[in-house]
Amino acid sequence: MRKHLLSINDLSRADAFEILDTAGALAKITDGPVKKLPTLRGLSIVNLFFEDSTRTRISFESAAKRLSADVINFSAKGSSVSKGESLKDTAQTLQAMGADAVIIRHGASGAAQRLADSGWISASVINAGDGTHEHPTQALLDAYTIRSRFPQYVSGFEGLRVAIVGDVLHSRVARSNVLLLTKLGAKLTLVAPPTLLPVGVTEWNVDVSFDLDAVIPEVDVLMLLRVQSERMKESFFPSEREYSRGYGLDSRRLNTLSESAIVMHPGPMNRGLEISAESADSHRSVVLAQVANGVLVRMAVLYQLLGGARLTGEASA
Ligand code: NCD
């Protein structure tokens, strides 16, 4: 793997499987009473978050701490950034503090790439979500979750059918998942109102449908996306009721899933809009497994980027 993880395009299929395998090995090692490994002891990892986040920030923090790294949380709210300090000044401050890795979430698409290319810092840069562009570790944790539910696809997703449903236009999760899941061999269908599909979607290697009822019985994985109202400056659908009726997962639709199919959502969920409470809490839902797997996959990414010591079951002192 390279120095940075900015996009799924940074990874070959073999790299992606290596991360998933490493996450699996870490799951076994940390399954016992000892949750912490000494692998990244002495390294400093900065969580640089310019956008709100609960699970991604906590997940990276927990992953870094479980590998014994020191973690600095830098949230743009309440920092000098709100007083007008630029990304450059912030990056140079982090460099002076000796950061070994910077995990960045930013509202602007391309911000992680900018930081990595700038020469302002020598740290590894990990993209934790840049605008509507990409969120590679989310796609990796989703692939890990899928693989652990469908062991028959352990060495390739050929034959696996996945639908990604909802606000594709504003979703970095959808972009990274399309890139990763197709790279791993899955067959993807995007289901969304025409207004919430990006221009150029026909060039993506996916099918597109506007008929959720027809798609649901055909898939192994149904991935719902959050309706990202904060990124909408205009109206993209007539009303929330109309949206739910066309593209929301309710109990009636849930019951038409095939027997082994799973329901995924990256969170935070708008219960009652893209997913009903019964669907979110049903035995089909793997939402909490996604959260738990996120820590393992981020440990694997940190481990591979920062070239920690060989993985062993040795506990940290
Ligand atoms: C996603 C994000 O921030 O892109 N959430 C997450 O990382 N868990 C998806 C979203 O906000 O809808």
CA of residue 316 to ligand 1 center, whole Å: 32
What's the CATH code, domain 8-135+292-305?
A: 3.40.50.1370
pLDDT of residue 58: 96
pLDDT tens-digit map of 63-113: 999 999 999 998 877 666 666 678 888 889 999 999 999 999 999 999 999
**Is 55 designated active site?**
yes
For the chain, which residues make up each domain, given as ranges?
8-135+292-305, 137-286
pLDDT at residue 316, as a whole number: 44
The secondary structure of the chain, three-state, reads CCCCECCHHHCCHHHHHHHHHHHHHHHHHCCCCCCCCCCCCCCEEEEEECCCCCHHHHHHHHHHHHCCCEEEEEECCCCHHHHCCCHHHHHHHHHHCCCCEEEEEECCCCHHHHHHHCCCCCCEEEEEEECCCECHHHHHHHHHHHHHHCHHHCCCCCCCEEEEECCCCCCHHHHHHHHHHHHCCCEEEEECCHHHCCCCHHHCCCEEECCHHHHHHHCCEEEECCCCHHHCCCCCCCCHHHHHHHHCECHHHHCCCCCCCEEECCCCCCECCCECHHHHCCCCECHHHHHHHHHHHHHHHHHHHHCCCCCCCCCCC
Class of domain 137-286: alpha beta
pLDDT for the residue 45: 97
Q: How far is the CA of 315 from the centre of ligand 1 (A)?
A: 33
pLDDT at residue 315 is higher than 50: no
Which residues line ligand 1 at a C-beta cut-off of 6 Å?
A: 55-56, 129, 135, 138, 172-173, 226, 228, 266-267
Render pLDDT for 193-231 as a digit per residue (tens, 0 to 9): 999 999 999 999 999 999 999 999 999 999 999 999 888
Quick check: do 8-135+292-305 and 137-286 share a fold? yes
The answer to whether residue 40 scores a pLDDT higher than 90 is yes
Better-predicted residue by pLDDT, 310 or 267: 267
